[in-house]
Structure 1
Amino acid sequence: MKLQLKNPIVFFDLETTGINIAKDRIVEIAILKVNIDGKEESFCYKVNPEMPIPPETTAIHGISDKDVKDAPTFKKLGKEIAKIMEGCDIAGFNSNKFDVPLLAEEFIRAEVDFDMKKRKFVDVQTIFHKMEKRTLTAAYKFYCDKNLEDAHSAAADTRATYEVLLSQLDRYPDLENDVEFLNDFSSFNKNADFIGRIIFNDKGQEVFNFGKYKGQPVEAVLEKDPSYYGWMMKGDFPLFTKKVLTNIKLRGFNKK
Protein backbone atom coordinates (compact mmCIF):
# COMPACT_ATOMS: atom_id res chain seq x y z
CA MET A 1 0.00 0.00 0.00
CA LYS A 2 1.30 3.42 -0.98
CA LEU A 3 -0.27 6.48 0.63
CA GLN A 4 -2.01 8.59 -2.01
CA LEU A 5 -1.06 12.20 -1.43
CA LYS A 6 -2.10 15.57 -2.80
CA ASN A 7 0.39 17.27 -0.50
CA PRO A 8 3.45 15.97 1.33
CA ILE A 9 2.58 14.67 4.79
CA VAL A 10 4.63 14.75 7.97
CA PHE A 11 4.26 12.15 10.68
CA PHE A 12 5.58 13.57 13.91
CA ASP A 13 5.89 12.69 17.57
CA LEU A 14 6.81 14.76 20.62
CA GLU A 15 8.48 13.86 23.87
CA THR A 16 7.73 16.52 26.44
CA THR A 17 8.17 17.63 30.04
CA GLY A 18 4.59 16.58 30.80
CA ILE A 19 1.03 16.51 29.49
CA ASN A 20 -0.18 20.04 30.25
CA ILE A 21 -0.56 21.62 26.82
CA ALA A 22 -0.51 25.16 28.18
CA LYS A 23 2.54 24.77 30.44
CA ASP A 24 4.73 21.87 29.33
CA ARG A 25 7.46 21.99 26.68
CA ILE A 26 8.99 19.81 23.97
CA VAL A 27 12.22 17.93 24.76
CA GLU A 28 12.36 15.95 21.51
CA ILE A 29 10.60 16.13 18.16
CA ALA A 30 10.86 13.50 15.44
CA ILE A 31 9.49 14.09 11.95
CA LEU A 32 9.04 11.62 9.11
CA LYS A 33 8.22 13.56 5.94
CA VAL A 34 6.64 11.58 3.13
CA ASN A 35 6.70 13.41 -0.19
CA ILE A 36 4.13 13.02 -2.95
CA ASP A 37 6.47 10.70 -4.86
CA GLY A 38 6.85 8.49 -1.76
CA LYS A 39 10.36 9.68 -0.93
CA GLU A 40 10.91 9.80 2.83
CA GLU A 41 12.95 12.25 4.88
CA SER A 42 13.61 11.83 8.62
CA PHE A 43 14.46 14.50 11.16
CA CYS A 44 14.95 14.26 14.93
CA TYR A 45 15.83 17.08 17.31
CA LYS A 46 16.52 17.22 21.01
CA VAL A 47 15.13 20.46 22.45
CA ASN A 48 16.10 22.37 25.57
CA PRO A 49 12.71 23.00 27.23
CA GLU A 50 14.09 25.79 29.46
CA MET A 51 12.45 24.08 32.42
CA PRO A 52 13.26 20.98 34.51
CA ILE A 53 12.10 17.59 33.23
CA PRO A 54 10.30 15.80 36.10
CA PRO A 55 11.92 12.46 37.07
CA GLU A 56 8.63 10.64 36.53
CA THR A 57 8.56 11.94 32.94
CA THR A 58 12.18 10.97 32.33
CA ALA A 59 11.24 7.47 33.51
CA ILE A 60 8.79 7.26 30.59
CA HIS A 61 10.80 8.60 27.65
CA GLY A 62 14.35 8.34 29.03
CA ILE A 63 15.30 11.98 28.34
CA SER A 64 16.81 13.84 31.30
CA ASP A 65 17.90 17.40 31.94
CA LYS A 66 21.52 16.55 31.09
CA ASP A 67 20.45 15.12 27.72
CA VAL A 68 19.02 18.47 26.59
CA LYS A 69 21.08 21.05 28.50
CA ASP A 70 23.20 21.81 25.41
CA ALA A 71 20.37 21.36 22.89
CA PRO A 72 18.85 24.37 21.11
CA THR A 73 15.63 25.87 22.44
CA PHE A 74 12.45 25.65 20.39
CA LYS A 75 12.75 29.37 19.73
CA LYS A 76 15.97 28.61 17.83
CA LEU A 77 14.58 25.50 16.12
CA GLY A 78 11.08 26.77 15.33
CA LYS A 79 11.75 28.28 11.91
CA GLU A 80 13.66 25.19 10.77
CA ILE A 81 10.83 22.90 11.87
CA ALA A 82 8.24 25.16 10.24
CA LYS A 83 10.22 25.05 6.99
CA ILE A 84 10.24 21.23 7.03
CA MET A 85 6.48 21.15 7.63
CA GLU A 86 5.54 23.97 5.26
CA GLY A 87 2.89 22.91 2.75
CA CYS A 88 2.48 19.51 4.41
CA ASP A 89 -0.49 17.76 5.91
CA ILE A 90 0.12 16.47 9.42
CA ALA A 91 -0.27 13.04 11.01
CA GLY A 92 0.54 11.38 14.30
CA PHE A 93 -0.68 9.10 17.06
CA ASN A 94 -2.99 10.92 19.50
CA SER A 95 -1.74 13.99 17.67
CA ASN A 96 -5.03 15.88 17.43
CA LYS A 97 -5.49 15.90 21.20
CA PHE A 98 -1.87 16.39 22.30
CA ASP A 99 1.01 16.75 19.84
CA VAL A 100 -0.63 19.25 17.47
CA PRO A 101 -1.97 21.57 20.23
CA LEU A 102 1.36 21.52 22.07
CA LEU A 103 3.35 22.18 18.89
CA ALA A 104 1.03 25.08 18.10
CA GLU A 105 1.77 26.51 21.55
CA GLU A 106 5.50 26.25 20.95
CA PHE A 107 5.22 28.01 17.58
CA ILE A 108 3.29 30.87 19.20
CA ARG A 109 5.81 31.21 22.05
CA ALA A 110 8.68 31.19 19.52
CA GLU A 111 6.85 33.82 17.44
CA VAL A 112 6.96 31.59 14.38
CA ASP A 113 4.12 32.36 11.97
CA PHE A 114 2.92 28.87 11.06
CA ASP A 115 -0.78 28.57 10.24
CA MET A 116 -1.58 25.01 11.30
CA LYS A 117 -5.26 25.43 10.53
CA LYS A 118 -4.49 25.28 6.80
CA ARG A 119 -3.42 21.64 7.17
CA LYS A 120 -5.24 18.34 7.03
CA PHE A 121 -4.75 16.31 10.22
CA VAL A 122 -4.72 12.53 10.36
CA ASP A 123 -4.77 11.02 13.84
CA VAL A 124 -3.85 7.35 13.51
CA GLN A 125 -4.85 6.69 17.13
CA THR A 126 -8.39 7.88 16.45
CA ILE A 127 -8.66 5.57 13.45
CA PHE A 128 -7.29 2.75 15.60
CA HIS A 129 -9.69 3.46 18.48
CA LYS A 130 -12.66 3.63 16.15
CA MET A 131 -11.65 0.33 14.59
CA GLU A 132 -9.97 -1.64 17.38
CA LYS A 133 -9.56 0.52 20.53
CA ARG A 134 -5.96 -0.19 21.72
CA THR A 135 -2.51 1.51 22.10
CA LEU A 136 0.36 2.22 19.68
CA THR A 137 2.37 -0.83 20.83
CA ALA A 138 -0.70 -3.04 20.39
CA ALA A 139 -1.58 -1.32 17.11
CA TYR A 140 1.90 -2.00 15.74
CA LYS A 141 1.64 -5.66 16.71
CA PHE A 142 -1.95 -5.98 15.49
CA TYR A 143 -1.55 -4.26 12.12
CA CYS A 144 2.12 -4.83 11.28
CA ASP A 145 2.80 -8.04 13.25
CA LYS A 146 5.93 -6.42 14.72
CA ASN A 147 7.06 -5.67 18.25
CA LEU A 148 7.62 -1.98 18.88
CA GLU A 149 11.19 -1.67 20.11
CA ASP A 150 12.15 1.55 21.93
CA ALA A 151 8.54 2.55 22.61
CA HIS A 152 8.38 6.18 23.78
CA SER A 153 11.35 6.98 21.59
CA ALA A 154 10.00 9.72 19.33
CA ALA A 155 11.72 8.36 16.22
CA ALA A 156 10.51 4.78 16.80
CA ASP A 157 6.96 5.93 17.56
CA THR A 158 6.87 8.13 14.46
CA ARG A 159 8.00 5.34 12.14
CA ALA A 160 5.54 2.89 13.74
CA THR A 161 2.68 5.37 13.34
CA TYR A 162 3.38 5.71 9.61
CA GLU A 163 3.51 1.93 9.14
CA VAL A 164 0.29 1.45 11.12
CA LEU A 165 -1.58 3.92 8.90
CA LEU A 166 -0.45 2.10 5.75
CA SER A 167 -1.60 -1.20 7.25
CA GLN A 168 -4.94 0.34 8.28
CA LEU A 169 -5.52 1.38 4.68
CA ASP A 170 -4.76 -2.17 3.54
CA ARG A 171 -7.03 -3.73 6.16
CA TYR A 172 -10.15 -1.56 6.01
CA PRO A 173 -11.86 -1.12 2.62
CA ASP A 174 -14.05 1.61 4.13
CA LEU A 175 -11.00 3.83 4.67
CA GLU A 176 -10.25 5.96 1.63
CA ASN A 177 -6.60 6.45 0.70
CA ASP A 178 -7.06 10.19 0.78
CA VAL A 179 -5.70 12.58 3.38
CA GLU A 180 -8.82 14.77 3.36
CA PHE A 181 -10.99 11.73 4.12
CA LEU A 182 -8.57 10.58 6.85
CA ASN A 183 -8.57 14.10 8.31
CA ASP A 184 -12.36 13.98 8.66
CA PHE A 185 -12.42 10.38 9.85
CA SER A 186 -9.80 10.89 12.56
CA SER A 187 -11.56 13.89 14.07
CA PHE A 188 -14.30 13.49 16.68
CA ASN A 189 -15.25 17.19 16.75
CA LYS A 190 -14.87 20.08 14.36
CA ASN A 191 -12.58 22.09 16.61
CA ALA A 192 -12.05 25.81 16.19
CA ASP A 193 -9.07 25.53 18.54
CA PHE A 194 -6.95 22.41 18.88
CA ILE A 195 -8.10 21.04 22.23
CA GLY A 196 -11.82 21.43 21.60
CA ARG A 197 -12.70 24.20 24.06
CA ILE A 198 -14.28 25.98 21.09
CA ILE A 199 -15.90 23.93 18.33
CA PHE A 200 -18.04 24.53 15.27
CA ASN A 201 -21.75 23.68 15.46
CA ASP A 202 -23.86 22.39 12.57
CA LYS A 203 -24.31 25.97 11.33
CA GLY A 204 -20.56 26.57 11.19
CA GLN A 205 -20.64 28.89 14.21
CA GLU A 206 -17.94 28.76 16.89
CA VAL A 207 -19.53 27.63 20.16
CA PHE A 208 -18.11 26.99 23.60
CA ASN A 209 -17.62 23.30 24.38
CA PHE A 210 -17.23 23.62 28.15
CA GLY A 211 -18.50 25.49 31.19
CA LYS A 212 -21.66 27.48 31.80
CA TYR A 213 -21.91 28.64 28.18
CA LYS A 214 -21.41 25.22 26.62
CA GLY A 215 -23.19 25.02 23.27
CA GLN A 216 -23.67 28.78 23.00
CA PRO A 217 -22.12 30.84 20.17
CA VAL A 218 -18.88 32.46 21.32
CA GLU A 219 -19.63 35.76 19.60
CA ALA A 220 -23.00 36.04 21.33
CA VAL A 221 -21.53 35.17 24.73
CA LEU A 222 -18.79 37.79 24.41
CA GLU A 223 -21.45 40.33 23.48
CA LYS A 224 -23.65 39.67 26.52
CA ASP A 225 -20.87 38.83 29.01
CA PRO A 226 -17.66 40.71 28.06
CA SER A 227 -16.01 39.69 31.35
CA TYR A 228 -15.92 36.07 30.15
CA TYR A 229 -13.26 37.02 27.63
CA GLY A 230 -11.07 38.50 30.37
CA TRP A 231 -11.58 35.43 32.55
CA MET A 232 -10.44 33.11 29.76
CA MET A 233 -7.47 35.28 28.79
CA LYS A 234 -6.25 35.22 32.40
CA GLY A 235 -7.03 31.53 32.82
CA ASP A 236 -4.97 28.40 32.27
CA PHE A 237 -5.99 27.96 28.64
CA PRO A 238 -3.59 27.23 25.75
CA LEU A 239 -2.28 30.22 23.84
CA PHE A 240 -3.90 28.98 20.63
CA THR A 241 -7.32 28.85 22.31
CA LYS A 242 -6.82 32.44 23.45
CA LYS A 243 -5.76 33.41 19.93
CA VAL A 244 -8.96 31.91 18.46
CA LEU A 245 -11.04 33.65 21.13
CA THR A 246 -9.38 36.99 20.39
CA ASN A 247 -9.97 36.61 16.66
CA ILE A 248 -13.68 35.99 17.29
CA LYS A 249 -13.86 39.02 19.58
CA LEU A 250 -12.15 41.26 17.00
CA ARG A 251 -14.45 39.95 14.29
CA GLY A 252 -17.41 40.97 16.45
CA PHE A 253 -16.02 44.49 16.81
CA ASN A 254 -15.58 44.79 13.05
CA LYS A 255 -19.26 43.99 12.51
CA LYS A 256 -20.36 46.98 14.60
Structure 2
Amino acid sequence: MSWHTGRLVGFDLETTGVDVFTDRIVTACVVGCGDGQPVTPRTWLADPGIDIPAEATAVHGISTEKARAEGRPAAEVVEEIVHDLAEAVTEGLPIVVMNAPYDFTLLDREARRHGVTPLTDLVGDELRVIDPRVMDKAVDPYRKGRRTLTDLCSYYGLRLDAAHTAEADALAACRVVWVLAEKWPQLRGTALDDLHAVQQQWAAQQATSYAAYLARTPGREHEAASVRTDWPFVPHQRGSA
Protein backbone atom coordinates (compact mmCIF):
# COMPACT_ATOMS: atom_id res chain seq x y z
CA MET A 1 0.00 0.00 0.00
CA SER A 2 1.30 3.45 -0.91
CA TRP A 3 1.77 6.08 1.78
CA HIS A 4 -0.78 8.35 0.08
CA THR A 5 -3.66 5.91 0.58
CA GLY A 6 -3.13 5.84 4.34
CA ARG A 7 -3.84 8.48 6.94
CA LEU A 8 -2.33 11.92 6.27
CA VAL A 9 -2.05 14.80 8.73
CA GLY A 10 -2.23 18.28 7.26
CA PHE A 11 -0.72 21.26 9.07
CA ASP A 12 -0.98 24.97 8.35
CA LEU A 13 -0.36 28.27 10.11
CA GLU A 14 -1.64 31.77 9.43
CA THR A 15 0.62 34.36 11.01
CA THR A 16 1.44 37.99 11.68
CA GLY A 17 3.90 38.12 8.80
CA VAL A 18 6.42 36.20 6.72
CA ASP A 19 9.53 36.34 8.92
CA VAL A 20 9.79 32.85 10.42
CA PHE A 21 12.17 34.04 13.13
CA THR A 22 10.15 36.94 14.53
CA ASP A 23 6.53 36.64 13.42
CA ARG A 24 3.81 34.91 15.44
CA ILE A 25 1.03 32.36 15.04
CA VAL A 26 -2.49 33.74 14.65
CA THR A 27 -4.46 30.69 13.53
CA ALA A 28 -3.48 27.05 13.04
CA CYS A 29 -4.92 23.74 11.97
CA VAL A 30 -3.87 20.11 12.33
CA VAL A 31 -6.21 17.87 10.31
CA GLY A 32 -6.31 14.12 9.84
CA CYS A 33 -7.72 12.81 6.58
CA GLY A 34 -7.78 9.75 4.33
CA ASP A 35 -7.56 6.01 4.97
CA GLY A 36 -11.34 5.73 4.80
CA GLN A 37 -11.77 7.64 8.05
CA PRO A 38 -13.55 10.93 8.80
CA VAL A 39 -11.74 14.22 8.38
CA THR A 40 -10.75 15.42 11.86
CA PRO A 41 -9.66 19.05 11.93
CA ARG A 42 -8.47 20.79 15.08
CA THR A 43 -8.13 24.55 14.81
CA TRP A 44 -6.76 27.30 17.02
CA LEU A 45 -7.02 31.08 17.26
CA ALA A 46 -4.20 32.64 19.25
CA ASP A 47 -3.61 36.05 20.73
CA PRO A 48 -0.10 36.51 19.33
CA GLY A 49 0.83 39.14 21.90
CA ILE A 50 1.71 41.69 19.22
CA ASP A 51 -0.30 43.76 16.77
CA ILE A 52 -1.33 41.99 13.58
CA PRO A 53 -0.33 44.16 10.61
CA ALA A 54 -3.10 45.21 8.25
CA GLU A 55 -1.33 43.36 5.43
CA ALA A 56 -1.60 40.08 7.34
CA THR A 57 -5.23 40.72 8.29
CA ALA A 58 -6.00 41.26 4.61
CA VAL A 59 -4.71 37.73 3.91
CA HIS A 60 -6.29 35.67 6.69
CA GLY A 61 -9.03 37.96 8.00
CA ILE A 62 -7.99 38.08 11.66
CA SER A 63 -7.52 41.53 13.17
CA THR A 64 -5.60 42.44 16.31
CA GLU A 65 -8.90 43.21 18.04
CA LYS A 66 -10.42 39.84 17.16
CA ALA A 67 -7.30 37.94 18.23
CA ARG A 68 -7.19 39.74 21.57
CA ALA A 69 -10.90 39.27 22.23
CA GLU A 70 -11.29 35.67 21.07
CA GLY A 71 -7.81 34.19 20.88
CA ARG A 72 -6.25 31.97 23.50
CA PRO A 73 -2.82 32.65 25.04
CA ALA A 74 -0.13 31.92 22.48
CA ALA A 75 1.85 29.64 24.79
CA GLU A 76 -1.15 27.34 25.26
CA VAL A 77 -1.86 27.24 21.53
CA VAL A 78 1.76 26.49 20.62
CA GLU A 79 1.96 23.70 23.21
CA GLU A 80 -1.21 22.06 21.89
CA ILE A 81 -0.09 22.27 18.25
CA VAL A 82 3.25 20.69 19.11
CA HIS A 83 1.50 17.98 21.12
CA ASP A 84 -0.88 17.08 18.30
CA LEU A 85 1.89 16.96 15.72
CA ALA A 86 4.13 14.89 18.00
CA GLU A 87 1.29 12.45 18.57
CA ALA A 88 0.82 12.04 14.82
CA VAL A 89 4.54 11.46 14.34
CA THR A 90 4.67 8.79 17.05
CA GLU A 91 1.80 7.06 15.25
CA GLY A 92 3.96 6.93 12.13
CA LEU A 93 1.85 9.41 10.16
CA PRO A 94 3.35 11.84 7.65
CA ILE A 95 2.79 15.56 8.18
CA VAL A 96 1.68 17.33 5.00
CA VAL A 97 2.78 20.97 4.85
CA MET A 98 2.85 23.35 1.92
CA ASN A 99 6.27 25.06 1.99
CA ALA A 100 7.30 23.16 5.11
CA PRO A 101 10.28 25.34 6.16
CA TYR A 102 7.95 28.27 6.73
CA ASP A 103 5.46 26.59 9.08
CA PHE A 104 7.89 24.29 10.89
CA THR A 105 10.53 26.97 11.46
CA LEU A 106 8.00 29.48 12.72
CA LEU A 107 6.46 26.86 15.04
CA ASP A 108 9.92 25.97 16.33
CA ARG A 109 10.75 29.58 17.17
CA GLU A 110 7.35 30.13 18.77
CA ALA A 111 7.89 27.07 20.95
CA ARG A 112 11.26 28.36 22.12
CA ARG A 113 9.82 31.84 22.65
CA HIS A 114 7.13 30.48 24.98
CA GLY A 115 9.16 27.84 26.81
CA VAL A 116 7.51 24.91 25.01
CA THR A 117 9.59 21.87 24.06
CA PRO A 118 10.01 22.13 20.27
CA LEU A 119 8.59 19.43 18.04
CA THR A 120 11.95 18.22 16.79
CA ASP A 121 13.21 17.87 20.35
CA LEU A 122 10.25 15.60 21.05
CA VAL A 123 10.30 13.43 17.94
CA GLY A 124 13.88 13.73 16.71
CA ASP A 125 14.52 12.01 13.39
CA GLU A 126 11.08 10.36 13.35
CA LEU A 127 9.47 13.37 11.67
CA ARG A 128 8.30 12.54 8.15
CA VAL A 129 7.11 15.44 6.01
CA ILE A 130 5.33 15.62 2.66
CA ASP A 131 5.65 19.02 0.96
CA PRO A 132 3.49 19.47 -2.17
CA ARG A 133 5.48 22.52 -3.23
CA VAL A 134 8.76 20.61 -3.29
CA MET A 135 7.26 17.51 -4.88
CA ASP A 136 5.42 19.40 -7.63
CA LYS A 137 8.57 21.28 -8.63
CA ALA A 138 10.58 18.06 -8.66
CA VAL A 139 8.26 16.03 -10.88
CA ASP A 140 7.26 18.87 -13.23
CA PRO A 141 10.17 21.32 -13.14
CA TYR A 142 9.61 23.09 -16.46
CA ARG A 143 5.96 24.00 -16.06
CA LYS A 144 5.44 27.75 -16.32
CA GLY A 145 3.58 29.80 -13.74
CA ARG A 146 3.39 30.25 -10.00
CA ARG A 147 3.13 27.35 -7.57
CA THR A 148 1.27 28.65 -4.56
CA LEU A 149 -1.25 26.33 -2.95
CA THR A 150 -4.03 28.15 -4.82
CA ASP A 151 -2.16 27.67 -8.08
CA LEU A 152 -1.60 23.96 -7.45
CA CYS A 153 -5.24 23.40 -6.59
CA SER A 154 -6.27 25.17 -9.80
CA TYR A 155 -3.79 23.24 -11.93
CA TYR A 156 -4.80 19.86 -10.52
CA GLY A 157 -8.54 20.59 -10.62
CA LEU A 158 -9.13 20.85 -6.88
CA ARG A 159 -11.47 23.26 -5.14
CA LEU A 160 -9.98 25.55 -2.52
CA ASP A 161 -12.74 27.38 -0.70
CA ALA A 162 -11.75 29.85 2.02
CA ALA A 163 -8.10 30.01 0.95
CA HIS A 164 -5.75 31.37 3.61
CA THR A 165 -7.75 29.92 6.43
CA ALA A 166 -5.61 27.36 8.21
CA GLU A 167 -8.17 24.55 7.99
CA ALA A 168 -8.86 24.98 4.27
CA ASP A 169 -5.16 25.22 3.41
CA ALA A 170 -4.14 22.24 5.54
CA LEU A 171 -6.78 20.03 3.96
CA ALA A 172 -6.03 21.32 0.45
CA ALA A 173 -2.35 20.46 0.87
CA CYS A 174 -3.32 16.86 1.67
CA ARG A 175 -5.53 16.71 -1.42
CA VAL A 176 -2.74 18.05 -3.63
CA VAL A 177 -0.24 15.43 -2.45
CA TRP A 178 -2.81 12.69 -3.01
CA VAL A 179 -3.31 13.87 -6.59
CA LEU A 180 0.46 14.15 -7.10
CA ALA A 181 0.96 10.59 -5.88
CA GLU A 182 -1.84 9.32 -8.10
CA LYS A 183 -0.36 11.09 -11.13
CA TRP A 184 3.33 10.30 -10.62
CA PRO A 185 4.30 6.63 -10.00
CA GLN A 186 7.73 7.58 -8.65
CA LEU A 187 6.04 9.39 -5.77
CA ARG A 188 3.54 6.75 -4.77
CA GLY A 189 6.12 4.01 -5.29
CA THR A 190 8.66 5.54 -2.90
CA ALA A 191 8.62 4.50 0.75
CA LEU A 192 7.84 7.31 3.18
CA ASP A 193 11.32 7.31 4.77
CA ASP A 194 12.96 7.53 1.35
CA LEU A 195 10.51 10.17 0.15
CA HIS A 196 11.32 12.38 3.13
CA ALA A 197 15.03 12.04 2.40
CA VAL A 198 14.74 12.75 -1.31
CA GLN A 199 12.61 15.83 -0.65
CA GLN A 200 15.53 17.22 1.34
CA GLN A 201 17.69 16.81 -1.74
CA TRP A 202 15.05 18.29 -4.05
CA ALA A 203 14.47 21.26 -1.76
CA ALA A 204 18.19 22.02 -1.58
CA GLN A 205 18.51 21.82 -5.37
CA GLN A 206 15.49 24.05 -5.87
CA ALA A 207 16.79 26.63 -3.40
CA THR A 208 20.23 26.62 -5.00
CA SER A 209 18.69 27.11 -8.43
CA TYR A 210 16.55 29.98 -7.14
CA ALA A 211 19.56 31.66 -5.53
CA ALA A 212 21.42 31.42 -8.83
CA TYR A 213 18.46 33.01 -10.60
CA LEU A 214 18.44 35.90 -8.13
CA ALA A 215 22.19 36.35 -8.45
CA ARG A 216 21.90 36.94 -12.19
CA THR A 217 18.75 39.11 -12.01
CA PRO A 218 19.52 42.86 -12.10
CA GLY A 219 18.34 44.56 -8.93
CA ARG A 220 17.85 41.30 -7.03
CA GLU A 221 21.42 40.10 -6.73
CA HIS A 222 21.50 40.96 -3.03
CA GLU A 223 18.61 38.56 -2.30
CA ALA A 224 20.58 35.47 -3.29
CA ALA A 225 22.55 35.32 -0.06
CA SER A 226 19.37 35.03 2.04
CA VAL A 227 18.05 31.90 0.29
CA ARG A 228 18.17 28.90 2.64
CA THR A 229 18.51 25.29 1.54
CA ASP A 230 17.21 23.84 4.85
CA TRP A 231 14.19 21.54 4.70
CA PRO A 232 11.78 20.80 6.37
CA PHE A 233 12.81 23.55 8.82
CA VAL A 234 15.69 25.87 9.62
CA PRO A 235 17.53 24.44 12.63
CA HIS A 236 17.82 26.62 15.69
CA GLN A 237 21.28 27.81 16.56
CA ARG A 238 22.27 28.78 20.08
CA GLY A 239 22.13 32.53 20.44
CA SER A 240 19.98 33.01 17.35
CA ALA A 241 16.36 34.13 17.10
TM-score above 0.5, yes or no:
yes
Give the drift of 1:67.
2.0
The 4+ residue runs of structure 1 with deviation greater than 4 A are 34-39
Deviations 1:111-132 (A, max 9, x none): 2223424311221111112233
Aligned counterpart, 2:176: 164
The equivalences for 1:149-228 within 5 A come to: 149-175=161-187, 176=189, 178-188=191-201
Q: Whole-Å Cα distance in 2 between the matches of residues 85 and 37 of structure 1?
A: 21
Q: Which amino acid aligns with 2:158?
A: K
How many residue pairs get matched? 199
In the superposition, relative to structure 1, how do residues 72 and 182 fare at CA in structure 2: closer, same or farther (>3 Å)? same
Matched, 1:107 2:103: no
Q: Whole-Å Cα distance in 2 between the matches of residues 167 and 190 of structure 1?
A: 20
Question: Residue 29 of structure 2 contacts residue 167 of structure 2 at CA under 8 Å; is this kept in 1?
Answer: yes
Q: Which amino acid aligns with 1:113?
A: T
Question: Residue 2 of structure 1 contacts residue 166 of structure 1 at CA under 8 Å; is this kept in 2?
Answer: no
Deviations 1:169-227 (A, max 9, x none): 10001113532233123224799xxx99xxxxxxxxxxxxx98xxxxxxxxxxxxxxxx
Q: Whole-Å Cα distance in 1 between the matches of residues 29 and 235 of structure 2?
A: 22
Aligned counterpart, 1:75: 75
Give the drift of 1:9.
4.6
Segment drifting more, 45-54 vs 106-115: 106-115
Aligned counterpart, 1:233: none
Q: Whole-Å Cα distance in 2 between the matches of residues 42 and 170 of structure 1?
A: 24
Give the drift of 1:94.
0.6
Q: Whole-Å Cα distance in 2 between the matches of residues 9 and 104 of structure 1?
A: 21
Give the drift of 1:239.
9.5
Q: Secondary structure at the match of 2:152?
A: helix
Matched, 1:142 2:158: no
Give the drift of 1:11.
1.3
Q: Pick from 93, 98, 103 the counterpart of residue 98 of structure 2.
A: 93
Q: Whole-Å Cα distance in 2 between the matches of residues 113 and 165 of structure 1?
A: 29
Deviations 1:19-44 (A, max 9, x none): 11111001000111348775542111
Superposition TM-score, scaled by structure 2 size: 0.71
Question: Residue 2 of structure 1 contacts residue 38 of structure 1 at CA under 8 Å; is this kept in 2?
Answer: no
Q: Which amino acid aligns with 2:236?
A: T
Superposition TM-score, scaled by structure 1 size: 0.67
* Structure number with bigger Rg: 1
In the superposition, relative to structure 1, how do residues 125 and 23 fare at CA in structure 2: closer, same or farther (>3 Å)? same
Q: Secondary structure at the match of 1:159?
A: helix
Q: Secondary structure at the match of 1:186?
A: helix
Matched, 1:126 2:124: no
Give the drift of 1:4.
5.0
Q: Secondary structure at the match of 1:128?
A: helix
Q: Which has a greater percent of helix?
A: 2
Give the drift of 1:105.
0.8
Question: Residue 18 of structure 1 contacts residue 24 of structure 1 at CA under 8 Å; is this kept in 2?
Answer: yes
Q: Whole-Å Cα distance in 2 between the matches of residues 127 and 148 of structure 1?
A: 19
Matched, 1:17 2:13: no
Aligned counterpart, 1:215: none
Give the drift of 1:154.
1.2
Q: Whole-Å Cα distance in 2 between the matches of residues 75 and 9 of structure 1?
A: 26
Question: Residue 134 of structure 2 contacts residue 203 of structure 2 at CA under 8 Å; is this kept in 1?
Answer: no
Matched, 1:30 2:29: yes
Aligned counterpart, 1:53: 52
Could you say which structure has the greater relative contact order, defined with CA pairs below 8 angstroms and 6 or more residues apart? 2
Question: Residue 79 of structure 1 contacts residue 112 of structure 1 at CA under 8 Å; is this kept in 2?
Answer: yes
Deviations 1:92-150 (A, max 9, x none): 1011x20110011111112222342431122111111223352211211222x133222
